[in-house]
């Protein structure tokens, strides 16, 4: 039952609703370690990565519960700053706990985190920047962090890393003095985290720009009971591309189109019609368009690396050439070999791939190499002739809630098998 059976060429029609973003929820949940009261997050999807992080929090003495799609997290009873090894290896997001745990307990122990299998995922920048706030790190296979007191500092990020920016926000919002993060990540998920903490009394300024200033406060207060995270721009983008490869017409409810500007710019006018409103995207295909030219992934607001594998699958269905350069995770191209099994014509040279379209893709037995690679194979399967069997459904479930069910409601033939 760890497979999806995708029968191609069924047009997608209708409405689909997207939930809160995985990459917003993970740091939000990690930031609850800073709180001694319960908060509820609204519109929450059921995702494996989220559940693993919640289990880590539970193993350290915290509590959580779901009430339909509201997730309540209560870290008032947290007592143990040891991230269990097995869970830490399962998800990369365990790294976000470093900032909040060191702030609350002044010590943390863990192992190096796991994550998606698309290449090296170093944590040097996380550790180096925490050191600037006064943290001592003993760095081997096991990590021990300790501090007498966190003190604000001016920190330059060599790369505008999302996770490092979020970790530093969490570590500094209760630190002594002022922290300035230069070349900070501008992703909407960073803004979402800052908004949440500010609603509880933190003083974080400039989130969404390349310079964030955090004035340390003594304590965060239960000024709000509920918080609605931003919706998942990657889930939105994935559904847009699923619909296009089938020649369909769908409405995506809950989508904030501003967060998908680069994707919309790329596919707009390419034989599809897009209509945007404050919380909906309507997209209608009118046949296969032409190749997308050059796309380079880079930190927000540029084209997101988390949609690279999906647009790669889409570009196989377009007439002409698309060149994609991966500017964030240079080796994130494991899905290429899987797409080739479906007859895709893709050449890889270093951190670039060249897609020669249009090829008729046909169904094959393929394996999700990572979370977004899995989504890419679903897109390819929806547009291909015949039946595609995508193994590794558990990998896809890390970041997509009931994707098969949602696609079936739209008329797709996607079933667990």
Catalytic site positions: 116
Q: Tell me: does residue 125 bind ligand UD1 (CB under 6 A).
A: yes
3 state DSSP class of 321: strand
| Dist CA 243 CA 237 (whole Å) | 10
| Dist CA 114 CA 197 (whole Å) | 26
Which of 90, 104, 112, 126 touches ligand UD1 by CB under 6 A? Answer: 126
Shortest spacing between CB 95 and ligand UD1, in angstroms: 7
The residue range among 80-88, 160-168, 245-253, 385-393 that interacts with ligand UD1, by the rule CB under 6 A, is 160-168
The sign of the dihedral angle between the CA atoms of 243, 244, 246, 249 is: positive
Q: Tell me: does residue 307 bind ligand UD1 (CB under 6 A).
A: no
Q: Is the peptide bond before 301 cis (omega within 30 degrees of 0)?
A: yes
What is the total count of residues that contact ligand UD1 (CB under 6 A)? 20
Contact 344, 361 (CB under 8 A): yes
Shortest spacing between CB 21 and ligand UD1, in angstroms: 9
Our separate counts of H helices and E strands in the chain read: 14, 23
**Beta carbon nearer to ligand UD1, 127 or 204:** 127
How many residues make up the chain in this entry? Answer: 417
Shortest spacing between CB 332 and ligand UD1, in angstroms: 8
Question: Which tokens sit at 337?
Answer: 């070999």
**Beta carbon nearer to ligand UD1, 165 or 322:** 165
Which of 53, 123, 264, 403 touches ligand UD1 by CB under 6 A? Answer: 123
The residue range among 33-41, 143-151, 162-170, 276-284 that interacts with ligand UD1, by the rule CB under 6 A, is 162-170
- 149: exposed, middle or buried (C-beta count within 10 Å: 0-12, 13-18, 19+)? exposed
Question: Which tokens sit at 369?
Answer: 């190499």
The residue range among 140-148, 159-167, 206-214, 263-271 that interacts with ligand UD1, by the rule CB under 6 A, is 159-167
Nearest to 114 by CA among 97, 95, 92: 92
Q: Tell me: does residue 159 bind ligand UD1 (CB under 6 A).
A: yes
Q: Tell me: does residue 256 bind ligand UD1 (CB under 6 A).
A: no
Contact 267, 238 (CB under 8 A): no
The residue range among 154-162, 172-180, 352-360, 409-417 that interacts with ligand UD1, by the rule CB under 6 A, is 154-162
**Beta carbon nearer to ligand UD1, 29 or 384:** 29
| Dist CA 123 CA 143 (whole Å) | 11
| Dist CA 358 CA 81 (whole Å) | 53
Q: Tell me: does residue 157 bind ligand UD1 (CB under 6 A).
A: no
Which of 23, 179, 238, 260 touches ligand UD1 by CB under 6 A? Answer: 23
Contact 370, 400 (CB under 8 A): no
Contact 411, 11 (CB under 8 A): yes
**Beta carbon nearer to ligand UD1, 105 or 300:** 300
Shortest spacing between CB 79 and ligand UD1, in angstroms: 26
Contact positions with ligand UD1 (CB under 6 A) in 191-230: none
| Dist CA 344 CA 337 (whole Å) | 9
3 state DSSP class of 252: strand
**Beta carbon nearer to ligand UD1, 165 or 315:** 165
The residue range among 121-129, 175-183, 223-231, 387-395 that interacts with ligand UD1, by the rule CB under 6 A, is 121-129
Q: Pattern of binders to ligand UD1 over 328-357, x per CB under 6 A?
A: xx----------------------------
Question: Which tokens sit at 195?
Answer: 């908004």
Which residues are at the interface with ligand UD1 (CB under 6 A)?
23, 26, 92-93, 121-126, 159, 161-164, 189, 305-306, 328-329
């Amino acid at each position: 039952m760890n497979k999806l059976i995708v029968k191609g060429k069924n047009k997608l029609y209708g409405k689909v609703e997207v939930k809160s973003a995985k990459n917003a929820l993970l740091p939000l949940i990690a930031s609850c370690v800073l709180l001694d009261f319960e908060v509820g997050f609204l519109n929450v999807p059921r995702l494996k990565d989220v559940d693993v992080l919640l289990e880590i929090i539970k193993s350290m003495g915290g509590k959580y519960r779901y009430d339909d799609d509201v997730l309540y997290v209560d870290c008032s009873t947290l007592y143990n700053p040891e991230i269990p090894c097995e869970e830490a290896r399962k998800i990369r997001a365990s790294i976000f706990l470093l900032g909040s745990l060191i702030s609350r307990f002044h010590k943390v122990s863990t192992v190096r985190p796991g994550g998606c299998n698309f290449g090296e995922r170093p944590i040097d920048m996380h550790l180096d920047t925490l050191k600037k706030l006064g943290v001592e790190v003993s760095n081997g296979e096991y990590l021990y962090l300790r501090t007498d007191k966190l003190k604000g500092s001016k920190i330059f990020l060599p790369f505008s890393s999302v996770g490092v920016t979020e970790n530093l926000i969490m570590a500094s919002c209760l630190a002594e003095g002022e922290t300035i993060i230069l070349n900070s990540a501008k992703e909407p998920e960073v803004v979402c985290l800052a908004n949440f903490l500010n609603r509880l009394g933190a003083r974080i300024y400039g989130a969404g720009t390349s310079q964030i200033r955090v004035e340390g406060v003594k304590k965060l207060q239960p000024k709000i009971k509920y918080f609605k995270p931003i919706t998942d721009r990657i889930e939105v983008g994935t559904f847009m591309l699923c619909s296009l490869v089938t020649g369909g017409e769908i409405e995506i409810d809950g989508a904030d189109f501003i967060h998908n500007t680069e994707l919309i710019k790329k596919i707009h006018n390419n034989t599809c019609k897009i209509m945007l409103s404050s919380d909906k995207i309507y997209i209608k295909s009118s046949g296969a368009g032409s190749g997308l030219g050059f796309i380079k992934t880079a930190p927000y607001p540029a084209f997101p690396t988390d949609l690279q594998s999906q647009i790669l699958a889409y570009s196989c269905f377009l007439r002409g050439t698309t060149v994609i350069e991966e500017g964030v995770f240079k080796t994130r191209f494991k899905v290429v070999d899987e797409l080739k099994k479906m007859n895709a014509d893709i050449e890889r040279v270093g951190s670039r791939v060249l897609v020669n379209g249009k090829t008729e893709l046909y169904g094959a037995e393929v394996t999700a190499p990572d979370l977004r690679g899995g989504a890419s194979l679903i897109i390819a399967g929806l547009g291909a002739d015949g039946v595609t069997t995508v193994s590794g459904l558990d990998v896809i479930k890390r970041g997509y809630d009931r994707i098969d069910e949602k696609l079936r409601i739209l008329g797709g033939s996607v079933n667990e098998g």
